[in-house]
A = this chain, B = another copy of it.
């Protein structure tokens, strides 16, 4: 499970469209399709209902989307907080 895969998943979950998301993320369509599929295989969970032509987020996918989105936001905040503390370093007289 890679961090980038999780970001990719969030974007695809919002649009339910790989081609469109690939353009937005500036990566190729196959690379994005593979990332999502490998994530599902590794976790042993299918997040999308596939009919060989389109994707639809299922209940597991919706749950995962919600939880992972919060986790990613938390990581972003952790970085921002650390950088802020780093800026203040030595600012106390």
A56 beta carbon closer than 8 Å to chain B: no
Q: What per-residue 1/0 map shows which CB atoms of A38-55 lie under 8 Å from chain B? A: 000001111100000000
Measured in the bound complex, the distance between the Cα atoms of B23 and A93 in whole Å is 41
Interface residues of chain A: helix, strand, loop or mixed (majority):
helix
CB–CB A86/B2 < 8 A: no
| Residues of B with C-beta under 8 A to A75 | 1, 6, 67-68, 71
The size of the chain A interface, using a CB distance under 8 A, is 30
Contacts of A64 in B (CB 8 A): 78-79, 81-82
Q: Which of A2, A59, A64, A82 has the most chain B CB atoms inside 10 A of its CB? A: A82
Residue from B70, B77, B83 within 8 A of A44 (CB atoms): B83
Bound complex: CA A47 to CA B86 (Å): 9
- List A residues at the B interface (Cβ < 8 Å): 1-3, 6, 43-47, 59-61, 63-64, 67-68, 70-72, 74-75, 77-79, 81-83, 85-86, 89
